[in-house]
């Protein structure tokens, strides 16, 4: 009981939902450990050992899913994408700057529309990569007919 309480305090729940998720994590961990302990008993049949290991495996997967749910609730693990190389060819358009998706007000969207009108393309100034491996190469028509 003291170990469960120490684990609960150590995980620092911030609200009731986190408290319930952490309580489930502790219960699932204890159940999985019990299944692993039972699987180690030498005087049992192969089927009993296999069943204990299967249950422990299911409990461990549930533990991982609950941990992910707790992290998601806490706002951890959000994806961040960084684009390091962009090719803009004649007739193309590009936006330079931070781009966010969804949940914007119409005023922000209108400001962004005005900003994109200011972006122009000058065909006389090529945009080259400092890394020659990143240069674009045209692909001949039908060049990818073989399986990759």
pLDDT in tens, 67-112: 888 888 888 766 677 777 777 777 777 776 766 666 555 555 555 5
**The pTM is what?**
0.49
Pairwise CA distance, residues 134 & 86, whole Å: 10
What local confidence, expressed as pLDDT, does residue 11 receive? 79
pLDDT at residue 138 is higher than 60: no
Using alpha carbons only, give the angle 49, 55, 60 rounded to the nearest 5 degrees.
Answer: 125
Read off the DSSP letter of residue 49.
Answer: H
Number of H helices, E strands in the chain: 4, 0
74 touches 14 (CB < 8 A): yes
pLDDT at site 105 = 55
CA dist., res. 63 & res. 143, Å (int): 48
The Cα 45–Cα 101 span in angstroms is 57
Q: Where do the domains of the chain lie? A: 2-73
pLDDT digits (tens, 9 = 90+) for 110-130: 555 555 555 555 555 555 666
Q: How many CB atoms lie within 10 A of CB 55?
A: 17
Angle value at C-alpha 138, between 132 and 139, nearest 5 degrees: 125
């Amino acid at each position: 009981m003291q170990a469960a309480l120490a684990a609960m305090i150590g995980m620092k729940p911030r609200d009731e939902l986190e408290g319930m998720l952490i309580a489930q994590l502790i219960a699932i961990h204890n159940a999985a450990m019990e299944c692993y302990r039972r699987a180690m008993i030498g005087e049992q049949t192969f089927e009993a050992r296999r069943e204990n290991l299967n249950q422990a495996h299911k409990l461990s997967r549930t533990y991982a899913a609950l941990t992910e749910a707790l992290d998601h609730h806490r706002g951890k693990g959000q994806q961040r994408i960084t684009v390091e190389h962009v090719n803009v060819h004649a007739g193309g358009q590009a936006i330079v700057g931070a781009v966010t998706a969804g949940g914007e007000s119409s005023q922000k969207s209108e400001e962004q529309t005005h900003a994109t009108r200011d972006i122009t393309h000058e065909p006389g100034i090529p945009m080259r990569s400092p890394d020659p491996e990143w240069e674009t190469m045209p692909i001949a028509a039908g060049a990818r007919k073989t399986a990759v």
